[in-house]
Amino acid sequence: MARHRNVRTTQYSDDEYYDDDDYSNSFEDDCISPSDAIYLINHKPKFDSDQEFTDAKVNSCLQRVTEVLGFEIPKDVLTGHLIRNEFNIDKTVDQILNSKSGDTKGKEYQGTEDNSSRPTVVIASSSKNKDSIVVGFGNTSISGSKNKNLTATPKQTPFSTPICSPAATPRNRSPQSTRVGSPRTDRKLNSPKNTKVKDDSGLSTSHHKDQLYLIIIGHVDAGKSTLMGHLLYKLGHVQQRTIQKYEHESKKLGKQSFVYAWVLDETTEERNRGITMDVGHLKFETKTKDVTLLDAPGHKDFIPNMITGASQADATILVVDATKGEFETGFDSGGQTREHALLIRSLGITQLGVAINKMDTVFWSEERFEEIKSKLGLFLKQAGYKESDVTFVPCSGLSGENLATKANESLLTQWYNGPCLMDVIDSFKPPERPISKPLRLCISDVYKSLGSGYSIVGRIETGQMRVGDKVLVQPQGEIAQIKSIEIDDLPQPIGLAGDFISVGLAGYDAQTIYSGCVLCDPSFPVPITSILEARVIVFNVDFPIVRGHQIVLHYQSSSESAVVSRLLAELNKSTGEVMKKNPRMIKKNTHALVKIQLSRPICVEVYSDIRQLGRIMLRSGGTTIAAGLVTKVNFNK
Amino acid sequence: MKLVHKDIEKDGKGVVVLIPEEAEDMWQAYNIIREGDRIRASTIRKVQNESSTGSSTSHRVRTTLTVNVESVDFDTQACLLRLKGRNIEENEYVKMGAYHTIDLELNRKFTLMKEEWDSIDLGRIEMATDPTQTADVAAVIMQEGLAHICLISGSRTIVRAKIDQNIPRKRKGDIKQHEKGILKFFDLVMQAILRHIRFDIVKCTIIASPGFVKDQFYEYIIQEAVKNDNKTILENKSKFITAHASSGFKHSLKEVLTNPSIASKLEDTKALSELKVLENFYKILQSESTRAFYGISHVEKANEALAIETLLITDSLFRSQNIAERKRYVKLVDSVKESGGDVKIFSSMHVTGEQLSQITGVAAILRFPMPELEDDEEEDDDSDECISLPQS
Ligand SMILES: Nc1nc2c(ncn2[C@@H]2O[C@H](COP(=O)(O)OP(=O)(O)OP(=O)(O)O)[C@@H](O)[C@H]2O)c(=O)[nH]1
Ligand SMILES: [Mg+2]
C-alpha cells in the first residue's frame, strides 16, 4: 500500500502541481496542504540543477528519435528511456519498439517508482516544458507534427509501428503508448476503416480537434439557455423546422420568449415553467475544438445539479443580465452569480468567459458594459480567477448578436471590436487528460439503454478503460466487466481520461449502481470512507460553522448528508499555518481543517493523490457554506 | 398522559401515578424512568404449574408487580418501553427477588417511586400531562429521488419511511426515462404516505422540497386520487400544505418548521420556540461570539459568573445512566433558573434537538461578553463516537 501511494504522490504532484503554478496566487494554490507543499519544496530543488541539463539533452535527442520512429512519443516516456540508455539513441529506439509486449499497467507504476525514472517524471512535467508534454488529447503541437509526419513519410505511418499497431491487442499495449498524439486519433487506429484514409489530412485534422467541456453558469433567467440555444441554431445544429415547431408550441404556452431556451430545456416541467432544472447537454464545434456544452440551471434550488455539471467541465461561461437592476439582483447576496463563480473556481476551473447578455435592453451601452465589467472583474479577481483568464463579451441571446460571428449591430460596433462568444470559447485551453493514472470513472447517471440492460454514464476523470476490461465498482466492492463503451452515442473500443461516456457492464446488476459510485482499477481501488478530513474555505456565511453542523456534502456528481464532526484547526489564509487548534467555531471567509462524518460511505480521494476526486463542497440550508480539498480519508491506518 | 396522583415529600422522595394514553407517552415515560427507580404496574407473568404426577404446565396470568428497575429499553419505532428488574413485593405468583420485565401498556396506570424527584423529572411530567402539547403533523421532505416521511408530535420527530430511488437524468433527445423515473418515484412516495400517515390523527401533512418537486408531487397525488377514487386522499385534501426545503435530507425539516406560514399551522409552540432560540444562538455566535458558548465546561463557567441569559440543553443529557453526570446537568439547570436565566430543554427527538446534540447538547447565550472563556480550551474529548449521526 505504502509503496504505490508513494508513487502516486510523486506522479500527481509532479504532473499537476506545476500546472497549478500557472495560476499562481490562485485559490487552488492556497489549498495545497502544508504537507504537500513541504513535499514539493523538498523535492523540486533536488532535481532542479539536473533538470536543465537533462532537459537540453532530451530535447536534442527527441527530434532524432522521432525521425527514426516516424511518430512522436511523449517526452516523459522518452526521457525515461533515454536516461536508462544514457542517451544512446539507437538503444532507446530499440527499447521503445520492443516495449510493446512487456509493458503492462502494473509495470508502469513500478517503473515510475524505479529511481532512475523518477527524476524524469519531474522534468517532463515541469511547467517549463508543459506545452510539449501535455498528456493525451489535443496537444496541437503533437498532432500537428504528426500530420506532417504522415505526409512526409507515408510509409512510416504510426499504424505500422509496433506500439500503435492496430493488431496489438488493447491489453498488452503499454498505457504509455496511448499517450501518443491525440487519443481521438488513437481510437480511430483501432478501426480498420480509418487506416485506409490515413493520408487524408483534411479528414484527420477534423478529428484532431481538442475536446472541451464547457459549462454555462449564471443567475436564474440571465439568458443562459437562450444564448446557447441561439448559438447552436446559428451554427446549424438546430434545424429551422425544429425552431418553428418550438415557436408555435411556446406561443401556445405564452412563453414565446423561450423558443431558443427550448433547445436545451426539454422536459415538460422546464418548458412549462421556463426554468432550466437539470443540466442540458449539446455538442458543437469551433475552429479548433469539439465542444460539449453543459447548460446549468440558474435557480438556487438546482445548484446541486449545477455542481454535477460543473464537475464535468473544463471551462465556463458566466452569463449575466445587463438589464438595469437585473445584473444587480443576480450579483447581490441572494443572487447566484457569486455562488456559481465561487463554486466553479473551487472545482478547479480557472478559465472563465463572461457573457454580458441582454445588451439589447440597455441599447448596447458601453457605459453599462464597463460598469458591469469593473464590478464583476473585481469580484472574480478576489475569487481567485486570473485577470488574463477572464474575457468579457457583450451580446444578446435573443437577437443573436455577437454570438457565432462578429457583431453587426452598429450601436455595438461603434465601441466594440473584441471577440464574439465563439472566439472566446475557441480560445480556451484544452484540459490535460491524466491518462496514465489509475482508472476512475465517476458515475453521474444510470439509465435503461435501448438494447439490453442499463447504461452507466459518467466522466473518466483519470486513466482509461477498454471494452473487456475488468473494473471494480465502488463502494459496492464488486468486479464488473466492460461490455461496451459509447461516446456521443457511438460505440468505441476505449474511453480515456476526460471522456464523458456511457458504459454497459457485463456480469453485474447495474440497478444497484447510483450516481456517486465509481468504476476504478481493481488493483488501485478508490478509497471508500465515511469519515474524512478536509481543508476548507468558508464562504460568506450567515452563521459560523460549529462542531456538529449538519450539512449536505457534495462531491463529484453526488451528495450525501453529513456532519462537521470536529474543527481541527483554523488556518492562515495564505500560508496554511495552524493559527488556532480546536477552535470552537469557524467564521466566514476563513480557512480551516475539519473532520466530516458522513451518513453513509462515499468514494473520495485525497486531493494530492487524485485531485479530480478530492474536491468537496459543503452546503446547508440551500447555500454553499464552504468548499474544500480532502486531506485524509483513511482513519484506521 | 394522565396524572392520577402525585405525592412528593420535601426531600424529593415520592410517588407519582400516571396513565399513558398514546404511544407518544411511552417516550415521555422513557425519559422519566431510570435505573434504581421502583415501578408498580399491571403485567403478564408466565406461571409454571407442577401437577401431582410431576409433569409441568405453564399458563399466563395478569398480576400487579413491583420491581426495582435495573434496565430500561425503548424501541423508538414500536414505541415499546420495557422495564426489567427484581420483584420487591412478594405475591402469589412471583417470589421476592425474581426477575421480571414489565412492558408498559397504554391506558393502564403505573406507579413510579423515586428516592429523589428532581426539577427536570417534575417538569417533564408537567409537560407530558399538558394536553395542548400533542399536535401531530406529518411531513414529506423530498428532492428528486429522495424522500423522508416523518411524523412530528409534541416531543419528537420520527422517520417512518425513506425512499431513495435512482432517477435517470434528463438526456439530449430522451426525456422519457427521466419523466418515467419521476413518476415511479412519486408513486413510491405516495404508497408510503398511504401506509404510514394516519389522516384521522394528523392535523396536516407538509410536502416540502427544493424547486418544484413539491408542487409536481402534490398535483400527482391529487390526480392519482381522483383517478383511483382514493377517498383517504380526497377527503383530506385540505390537510396538505407545500413548503420550501433546501434538500430531501431529514435535517432540512428545520427550515420547514421555521417557515412562518407553516409555523402558524403548527400550534405546537414548543418546537417553534426551540428553533427560534437555536437560531438566535447561531446569530450571536456569528455577530458577538463572546456572548455565545457551547460545551459543558464553557457553559458551567459562564454560569458561575451568573452570565447565562438562556440555557439550551437537550433532554438526552438527562437520560444519562450515570447518576453523577445527570446530577451535574440538573444542577446547572436549577442554578440558571435561580439566577433568573431562561432554560430551554430541547427534545433530542426533534430536528432542533438533534442539532443541539451535535454541538455537545448544551449551549448558552450570555447576558454579557466573556472573552476570557475563548482562550479557555474546551476539554477535548477527542471522541468521534460522541457525535451521534443524524437519523436518515
Ligand atoms: N431582451 C432579451 N431577453 C433575453 C435575452 N436572452 C434571454 N432573454 C430572455 O430571458 C428569459 C430567460 O431566458 P433563459 O434562457 O431561460 O434563461 P436561463 O438563464 O437559461 O434561465 P435558467 O436556466 O432558468 O436559470 C427569456 O424570457 C428570454 O427570452 C436577450 O439577450 N435579450
Ligand atoms: Mg436555462
Q: Considering every ligand atom, which ligand is closest to the CA of A297?
A: 1
The predicted structure's pLDDT at residue B376: 64
Mutate to test the interface with B, among A275, A301, A311 (most CBs of B within 10 A): A301
Question: Do B141 and B166 reside in the same domain of the chain?
Answer: yes
* Residues B167-181, mean pLDDT to the nearest whole number: 83
Identify residue B6 by its one-letter amino acid code: K
Considering the domain boundaries, does residue B269 fall inside one?
no
Mean pLDDT of the residues in chain B = 84
Say if residues A122 and A11 touch (Cβ distance below 8 Å): no
Question: Do B341 and B303 reside in the same domain of the chain?
Answer: yes
* Residues A475-488, mean pLDDT to the nearest whole number: 89
Say if residues A110 and A11 touch (Cβ distance below 8 Å): no
Q: Which residues contact A505 (CB under 8 A, 6 or more apart)?
A: A453, A454, A456, A473, A480, A481, A482, A483
Q: Which residue has the higher pLDDT, A452 or B328?
A: B328
Range 405-444 of A in CB contact (< 8 A) with B: 444
DSSP readout, A521-532? Answer: -TTSPPPEEEEE
CA B20 to chain centroid, in Å, comes to 16
Provide the 10 A C-beta neighbour count for residue B111. Answer: 16
Confirm or reject contact between B334 and chain A (CB < 8 A): no
Question: Do B147 and B246 reside in the same domain of the chain?
Answer: yes
Taking contacts as CB-CB distances below 8 angstroms, the residues of chain B near A267 are: 170, 175, 178-179
Considering the domain boundaries, does residue B389 fall inside one?
no
ipTM associated with this complex? 0.72
Residues pairing with A284 in the sheet: A291
Residue A548 has pLDDT above 50, yes or no: yes
The predicted structure's pLDDT at residue A498: 87
* Residues B275-297, mean pLDDT to the nearest whole number: 89
Q: Which residue has the higher pLDDT, A400 or B374?
A: A400
Regarding the beta carbon of A276 and ligand 1, being less than 6 Å apart is answered: yes
* Residues B356-379, mean pLDDT to the nearest whole number: 82
Task: State whether residue B46 is helix, strand or coil.
Answer: strand
List b or e across A72-98, with b for residues whose CB sees 16 or more CB atoms inside 10 angstroms: bbbbbbbbbbbbbbeeebeebbebbee
The predicted structure's pLDDT at residue A289: 87
> B285: domain CATH number?
3.30.1330.30
CB-based contact A448 B282, cutoff 8 Å: no
Q: Which of A353, A343, A260 is nearest to A309 (CA)?
A: A343
Helix, strand counts (H, E) of chain B: 12, 16
Regarding the beta carbon of A605 and ligand 1, being less than 6 Å apart is answered: no
Measure the CA–CA gap between A208 and A222, rounded to whole angstroms: 34
Q: How far is the CA of A449 from the centre of ligand 2 (A)?
A: 27
CB-based contact B249 A561, cutoff 8 Å: yes
Query: At which residue does the C-alpha cell 515510475 appear?
Result: A112
Q: Which residue has the higher pLDDT, A484 or A61?
A: A484
Confirm or reject contact between A561 and chain B (CB < 8 A): yes
The predicted structure's pLDDT at residue B347: 83
| Predicted confidence band of residue B268 (pLDDT cuts 50, 70, 90) | low
Considering the domain boundaries, does residue B303 fall inside one?
yes
* Residues A454-473, mean pLDDT to the nearest whole number: 91
Q: Which numbered atom of ligand 1 lies nearest the CA of A270?
A: 24
Provide the 10 A C-beta neighbour count for residue B225. Answer: 19
Q: Give the H/E segment covering residue A25.
A: none
Task: State whether residue A77 is helix, strand or coil.
Answer: helix
Regarding the beta carbon of A158 and ligand 1, being less than 6 Å apart is answered: no
Confirm or reject contact between B255 and chain A (CB < 8 A): yes
Q: Detail the DSSP E strand segments found in A326-453.
A: 352-357, 390-394, 440-448
Residue of chain B whose Cα is closest to the Cα of A619: B246
Measure the CA–CA gap between A299 and A334, rounded to whole angstroms: 11
Give the number of A-B residue pairs with CB atoms closer than 8 Å: 135
Q: Strands A558-571 and A528-538, how do they pair?
A: unpaired
Residue A457 has pLDDT above 70, yes or no: yes
Q: How far is the CA of A263 from the centre of ligand 1 (A)?
A: 13
| Predicted confidence band of residue A23 (pLDDT cuts 50, 70, 90) | very low
Considering the domain boundaries, does residue B119 fall inside one?
yes
Range 529-558 of A in CB contact (< 8 A) with B: 531, 541-544, 546-550, 552
Say if residues A381 and A392 touch (Cβ distance below 8 Å): no
- Minimal Cα–Cα distance from B386 to chain A, Å? 9
> B104: domain CATH number?
2.30.30.870
Q: Strands A210-217 and A289-295, how do they pair?
A: parallel
By Cβ distance, the residue of A547, A561, A620 closest to B390 is A561
Percent of chain A with pLDDT over 90: 31
Range 140-159 of B in CB contact (< 8 A) with A: 143
Say if residues A27 and A538 touch (Cβ distance below 8 Å): no
Question: Do B226 and B124 reside in the same domain of the chain?
Answer: no
Q: Which residues contact A243 (CB under 8 A, 6 or more apart)?
A: A233, A259, A260, A263
Q: Give the H/E segment covering residue A571.
A: strand A558-571
* Residues A368-397, mean pLDDT to the nearest whole number: 91
Confirm or reject contact between B251 and chain A (CB < 8 A): yes
Among the listed ranges A142-151, A578-587, A623-632, B36-45, which one has the minimum average pLDDT value?
A: A142-151
Question: Do B302 and B371 reside in the same domain of the chain?
Answer: yes
Single out the residue in B106, B129, B152 at which a domain terminates: B129
Question: Do B254 and B231 reside in the same domain of the chain?
Answer: yes
Considering the domain boundaries, does residue B24 fall inside one?
yes
By Cβ distance, the residue of A302, A585, A595 closest to B211 is A302
Regarding the beta carbon of A139 and ligand 1, being less than 6 Å apart is answered: no
Residue B94 has pLDDT above 80, yes or no: yes
Measure the CA–CA gap between B388 and A600, rounded to whole angstroms: 13
By Cβ distance, the residue of A446, A552, A600 closest to B166 is A446
CB-based contact B251 A550, cutoff 8 Å: yes
Question: Do B246 and B281 reside in the same domain of the chain?
Answer: no
* Residues A613-628, mean pLDDT to the nearest whole number: 90
DSSP state of B385: T
Phi, psi of A437 (to 5 degrees): -85, 165
The predicted structure's pLDDT at residue B76: 75
Geometric angle at alpha carbon A441, from A439 and A446, rounded to 5°? 150
Q: Which residue has the higher pLDDT, A313 or A102?
A: A313
Question: Do B145 and B117 reside in the same domain of the chain?
Answer: no
Considering the domain boundaries, does residue B386 fall inside one?
no
Measure the CA–CA gap between A481 and A503, rounded to whole angstroms: 10
Cell of A36: 504537500
CB-based contact A619 B246, cutoff 8 Å: yes
| Predicted confidence band of residue A182 (pLDDT cuts 50, 70, 90) | very low
Task: State whether residue A265 is helix, strand or coil.
Answer: coil
CA A110 to chain centroid, in Å, comes to 27
Cell of A20: 497549478
Regarding the beta carbon of A398 and ligand 1, being less than 6 Å apart is answered: yes
CA A183 to chain centroid, in Å, comes to 16
Q: Please, what's the largest Cα pairwise distance for chain A? A: 75
The predicted structure's pLDDT at residue A438: 92
Question: Do B153 and B243 reside in the same domain of the chain?
Answer: yes
By Cβ distance, the residue of A267, A552, A561 closest to B170 is A267
Taking contacts as CB-CB distances below 8 angstroms, the residues of chain A near B387 are: 548, 563, 565, 597
Range 67-126 of B in CB contact (< 8 A) with A: none
Q: Give the H/E segment covering residue A214.
A: strand A210-217
Q: Which of A34-38, B111-115, B133-137 has the highest mean pLDDT?
A: B111-115
Q: Which residue has the higher pLDDT, B300 or B91?
A: B300
> B177: domain CATH number?
3.30.420.60
Q: Which residues contact B219 (CB under 8 A, 6 or more apart)?
A: none
* Pocket probe mutation, ligand 1, options A233, A257, A265, max atoms within 8 Å of Cβ: A257
Mutate to test the interface with B, among A550, A586, A632 (most CBs of B within 10 A): A550
Q: How far is the CA of A260 from the centre of ligand 2 (A)?
A: 10
Among the listed ranges A4-13, A563-572, B241-250, which one has the minimum average pLDDT value?
A: A4-13
Measure the CA–CA gap between A445 and A386, rounded to whole angstroms: 33
Question: Do B212 and B102 reside in the same domain of the chain?
Answer: no
The predicted structure's pLDDT at residue A451: 67
| Predicted confidence band of residue A84 (pLDDT cuts 50, 70, 90) | low
Question: Do B121 and B179 reside in the same domain of the chain?
Answer: no
Confirm or reject contact between B286 and chain A (CB < 8 A): yes
Regarding the beta carbon of A360 and ligand 1, being less than 6 Å apart is answered: yes
Regarding the beta carbon of A561 and ligand 1, being less than 6 Å apart is answered: no
Measure the CA–CA gap between A434 and B391, rounded to whole angstroms: 39
Measure the CA–CA gap between B388 and B392, rounded to whole angstroms: 12
The predicted structure's pLDDT at residue A394: 94
Taking contacts as CB-CB distances below 8 angstroms, the residues of chain A near B390 are: 550, 561, 563, 599
Single out the residue in B100, B129, B158 at which a domain terminates: B129
| Predicted confidence band of residue A323 (pLDDT cuts 50, 70, 90) | very high
Regarding the beta carbon of A300 and ligand 1, being less than 6 Å apart is answered: no
The predicted structure's pLDDT at residue B124: 84
Residue A465 has pLDDT above 80, yes or no: yes
Question: Do B287 and B258 reside in the same domain of the chain?
Answer: no
Residues pairing with A491 in the sheet: A486
Confirm or reject contact between A565 and chain B (CB < 8 A): yes
Say if residues B171 and A281 touch (Cβ distance below 8 Å): yes
* Residues A391-411, mean pLDDT to the nearest whole number: 90
* Pocket probe mutation, ligand 1, options A250, A265, A395, A398, max atoms within 8 Å of Cβ: A398
Query: At which residue does the C-alpha cell 449536505 appear?
Result: A552
Among the listed ranges A120-129, B32-41, B206-215, which one has the minimum average pLDDT value?
A: A120-129
Single out the residue in B84, B110, B129 at which a domain terminates: B129
- Minimal Cα–Cα distance from A511 to chain B, Å? 9
Confirm or reject contact between B14 and chain A (CB < 8 A): no
Residues pairing with B80 in the sheet: B75
Considering the domain boundaries, does residue B383 fall inside one?
no
The predicted structure's pLDDT at residue A5: 38
Measure the CA–CA gap between A605 and A529, rounded to whole angstroms: 9
Confirm or reject contact between B169 and chain A (CB < 8 A): yes
By Cβ distance, the residue of B251, B355, B387 closest to A597 is B387
Q: Which residue has the higher pLDDT, A95 or B350?
A: B350
Measure the CA–CA gap between B259 and B244, rounded to whole angstroms: 8
Cell of A123: 522534468
Say if residues B36 and B115 touch (Cβ distance below 8 Å): yes
Q: Which of B102, B96, B84 is nearest to B35 (CA)?
A: B84
Number of domains within chain B = 3
Q: Which of B309, B327, B281, B326 is nearest to B368 (CA)?
A: B309
Say if residues A393 and A356 touch (Cβ distance below 8 Å): yes
Cell of A118: 523518477
Query: At which residue does the C-alpha cell 449551549 appear?
Result: B363
Q: Which of A122-126, A177-181, A311-315 has the highest mean pLDDT?
A: A311-315
Among the listed ranges A47-56, A88-97, A609-618, which one has the minimum average pLDDT value?
A: A47-56
Q: How far is CA B154 from CA A84, B41, B261, B270, in A?
A: 76, 25, 19, 8
Regarding the beta carbon of A297 and ligand 1, being less than 6 Å apart is answered: yes
Q: Which residue has the higher pLDDT, B192 or B375?
A: B192
Residues of the domain holding B145:
137-264
Q: For residue range B14-56, list pLDDT tens digits in order.
A: 999 999 887 778 888 888 898 889 999 988 888 887 777 777 7
Considering the domain boundaries, does residue B388 fall inside one?
no
Q: Considering every ligand atom, which ligand is closest to the CA of A260?
A: 1
Say if residues A165 and A126 touch (Cβ distance below 8 Å): no
Strands ordered across the beta sheet of B292-294 = B292-294, B362-366, B308-314, B342-346
